[in-house]
Structure 1
């Protein structure tokens, strides 16, 4: 691929040489993709446009969300044409085989810790590493299968051995951003209006084994049980928002919201709430793993063992973390919450070092462009109100 004339068109005002396609199927995928884009910051040679890959149950209003973000959005027919040099998808699902460019797939949570969801439950395959997601008509679809830790190579070898030559260990950009955000904790708390109060973040993944499904009244219970020097914020997985809609969620949570519950917006705000938190109450979603890996006091109010990959770091978390008993004294339990034992070991088992450097090296190698001269570093997450 030659460096000239590049991708810049007659009416472009930037010297664009390469164009990347960001492929999203859900709000979760978009959230993760927005953690990846900072590796391209300040480089006017590279332009990113986005397309929605149809087929997800949780794709409602996704194109609208992209437009609200002021992203350049193309339809799928344009996406599968010749206008791009590389594609990034935080999911192996969808018609990625239709794309005419090399594709990088990435996990859209804290590693590959869940079994693949099906219409009737879960398959005995690791989500993101299965043959069903990585192969089409006998060929491996992604040019690169991005992993967050070297241990996932063994799982890929079991699940889809044909894809092992395509695997590259990158790390987890989201966790890297959370780590560099910790010194800004007081700023996130100020933006949340927390002040000197003790912030309890209640967080739920999606599906039948999630905290929200199993303990739907817990937010209201916490708001009622905790005195004024506590603040409660609820983070719901984007799939919950997509499935039920904001109006319905606010209706279900009406009393708790009137009594001070903070319902964290569905996109790009949970990270700030997590960094600001004093205690996290969650389930088997990625947020609970990030909380544990950061050393946050954690209580599990639900845990979908049947959805978690046996022997994975998430399964280890489920065996180590204390449980919250909603029938007991919830304030006493929250006050007694502590970081998960050996939480640094959990982080070491799940996340590889220097994800932004690994990711940038990979992308620019695929684009056949020299890397920019400035270092690739993670950025702190945005403030709650930004």
Structure 2
């Protein structure tokens, strides 16, 4: 298991939990170099996972390697399986310096730059969430079509399994009768909600009465890894001192998302996954040029209302709720996976086939998200000396 970041580790967990109880298989984890790798070793240790040094992993020979990132995997001496790590192929390739004149700017995991190395296709298998990814792959890197598979999205399947438990998630979070939950989601990068949090904070801090609204912030782990956990906590300490929960990067985010009455977000994966819930959606900022046409984020940006900094946030939430209709975002949710409910079965089949092993004679179990802790656990400010 080649792990680059906390985000990638969270997605790979959906795969290694399918394999780890099989007595025929030994899982070995290594941390590959990455700019957003801060906090990853601690995250893995929290799961009880020991790692081998990256340099040792490069020298050793394994039967198979699984990765959600591309950096350095071409150096491995083993077949590599690449899996997607977000909600659809949303973000376009950021490093355009390697593009030839007129070459398409594809999403990262559909681009030649992320799949090829010195003219060689690196992955022995590539796992995508949706059939439309294969169409784009045929345009951007046709050499990869022969090893591409569509398995669906594990987060889609888990959120769907957890939706009937929404009431229990709200109780676990401490949402009382008459209170409603606002979840603010942010990806990373210059056009993310977090990078513009200074314009949203005054509304969150002063315009949502605590007795009526509870607020939780789900910030991408790359934000914590890039800026440093202490710095991010310090920047957001004013939120926590006013009763806004800042969910730590290692926490399971699916329960709070399912429990939300409103989701305010950007073009990140969590906002897109929010369309699977009953929440009313609102968007922040202008980031349309950053996302791929036809992606869940692009579809959502065409229909969801946008937060206006100059107006009462409470009034905007209520107005958006009045406009909301059941099934309003079904077409966005459908763009997340073309194999709903099938990721774990299909993914297990791919891995066992590549290992040359028969699958266990039992279906894989897809557990709903675990009950989250109370929001009060994450509403404590940095100044109190208590860790998130």
TM-score calculated relative to the size of structure 1? 0.88
Give the superposed CA RMSD.
2.2
- 1:83 Cα deviation from its structure 2 partner: 4.9
- 1:319 Cα deviation from its structure 2 partner: 0.7
**Partner in structure 2 of residue 69 of structure 1:** 47
Deviations 1:326-384 (CA, angstroms, capped at 9, x unpaired): 21121021123336864222222330221111111111111211111111232112232
What is the SS of the residue equivalent to 1:194? coil
**Partner in structure 1 of residue 190 of structure 2:** 208
What is the SS of the residue equivalent to 1:124? coil
1:237–1:266 CA contact under 8 A, matched in 2: yes
Deviations 1:38-62 (CA, angstroms, capped at 9, x unpaired): 32364333232211111x2211232
**Partner in structure 2 of residue 225 of structure 1:** 207
Q: Which has the higher contact order (CA 8 A, sep 6+)?
A: 2
Q: Distance in 1 between matches of 2:325 and 2:364?
A: 30
- 1:163 Cα deviation from its structure 2 partner: 0.7
Q: Distance in 2 between matches of 1:103 and 1:385?
A: 36
What is the SS of the residue equivalent to 1:320? coil
Q: Distance in 1 between matches of 2:276 and 2:67?
A: 25
**Partner in structure 2 of residue 345 of structure 1:** 331
**Partner in structure 2 of residue 292 of structure 1:** 275
1:223–1:256 CA contact under 8 A, matched in 2: yes
Aligned counterparts, 1:223-262, within 5 A:
223-227=205-209, 228-262=211-245
**Partner in structure 2 of residue 24 of structure 1:** 3
> Does residue 1:152 correspond to 2:133, yes or no?
yes
What is the SS of the residue equivalent to 1:60? coil
What is the SS of the residue equivalent to 2:156? helix
Aligned counterparts, 1:87-236, within 5 A:
87-91=65-69, 93-118=70-95, 124-196=105-177, 197-227=179-209, 228-236=211-219
What is the SS of the residue equivalent to 1:47? coil
1:26–1:62 CA contact under 8 A, matched in 2: yes
Q: Distance in 2 between matches of 1:249 and 1:190?
A: 28
Q: Distance in 1 between matches of 2:62 and 2:96?
A: 33
2:199–2:309 CA contact under 8 A, matched in 1: no
Consecutive unaligned residues in structure 2, runs of 5 or more: 375-388
Consecutive unaligned residues in structure 1, runs of 5 or more: 1-21
- 1:125 Cα deviation from its structure 2 partner: 2.4
Does the C-alpha gap of structure 1 residues 100 and 79 become closer, same or farther in structure 2, counting only changes over 3 Å? same
Q: Distance in 1 between matches of 2:98 and 2:245?
A: 32
- 1:304 Cα deviation from its structure 2 partner: 1.4
Aligned counterparts, 1:349-368, within 5 A:
349-353=335-339, 354-368=342-356
- 1:310 Cα deviation from its structure 2 partner: 2.1
**Partner in structure 1 of residue 63 of structure 2:** 85
**Partner in structure 2 of residue 373 of structure 1:** 361
The range that moved more, 328-337 or 42-51, is: 42-51
2:36–2:222 CA contact under 8 A, matched in 1: yes
